Amino acid sequence: MIEEKFNMPLLGDDFPKLTVQTTQGKKNIPGDYEGKWFVLFSHPADFTPVCTTEFYGFQKRYKDFKEMGVELIGMSIDQVFSHIKWTEWIEENLDQKIEFPIIAANDQIALKLGMLHPGKGTNTVRAVFVVDPKGKTRLVLYYPQEIGRNMDEIVRAVKALILSDENGVAVPANWPENELIKDRVIIPPASNVEEANKRKNNKDCYDWWFCHKKL
């Protein structure tokens, strides 16, 4: 018997091409999102407490994603009717209408994304994939079933990725509240001796290889 390989897209990889059924109809991913950033996140199962808090949290930040031009997509291996019933429950009981599509995946799709862990049965893990407008995987996060995600960190990371791409800069730890340079960003290190010497006495540099600026 050949053991099925546990795959997942790595940073910089093309996001796997998927044709999926969602609560908003059939979609081709990443094709239908060409030219857009999107966040695809999986959850273990509908009608579970931690996942419910996550969906509530993602929806509360849906406007933040849309303002950045980022699409949000949920996913588990539950069937579409389960997704629909669960989102109805969330709206009726928690007063939060889920506006983003939720994929009804099968085992083949989940395995293709590394969302079914061999030791965790049939439940999909808590994975997050951030994909850029060219269909490249730019960020991957994995959480265990028993711990819910921090949605503010996902918003922050996506915002930082977009800012980095648009401005050719790096983003420090805990941005925009970094302990050293606050909301400033890091510019690329000097690539030659002349440029390095110019930066040595610059008030916006700790050294020639560590300079920052305000955007």
How do the domains of the chain map onto residue ranges? 18-149, 168-215
Q: Is the pLDDT of residue 1 over 70?
A: no
What average pLDDT does range 79-95 have in this prediction? 97
- Total length of the chain: 215
Residue 188, pLDDT score: 93
Residues with a catalytic annotation lie at 51
Residue 105's pLDDT band (cuts 50, 70, 90): confident
Q: Give the model's pLDDT for residue 145.
A: 82
pLDDT of 118: 59
In angstroms, the CA 102 to CA 205 distance is: 46
Q: Identify the burial level of 27 via C-beta atoms within 10 angstroms of its C-beta, where 0-12 means exposed, 13-18 middle and 19 or more buried.
A: middle
Which one, of 54, 33, 25, lies nearest residue 128 by Cα?
A: 54
Place of tokens 């009717």: 81
Residue 4 has pLDDT above 60, yes or no: no
> How far apart, in whole angstroms, are the C-alpha atoms of residue 29 and residue 17?
6
Per the CATH hierarchy, to which homologous superfamily does domain 18-149 belong? Glutaredoxin (3.40.30.10)
Q: Would you say 105 and 114 are in contact if contact means Cβ atoms under 8 Å apart?
A: no
Q: Return the CATH architecture of domain 168-215.
A: 2-Layer Sandwich (3.30)
- Is 0.85 topped by the overall pTM? yes
Q: Amino acid identity, residue 30? A: P
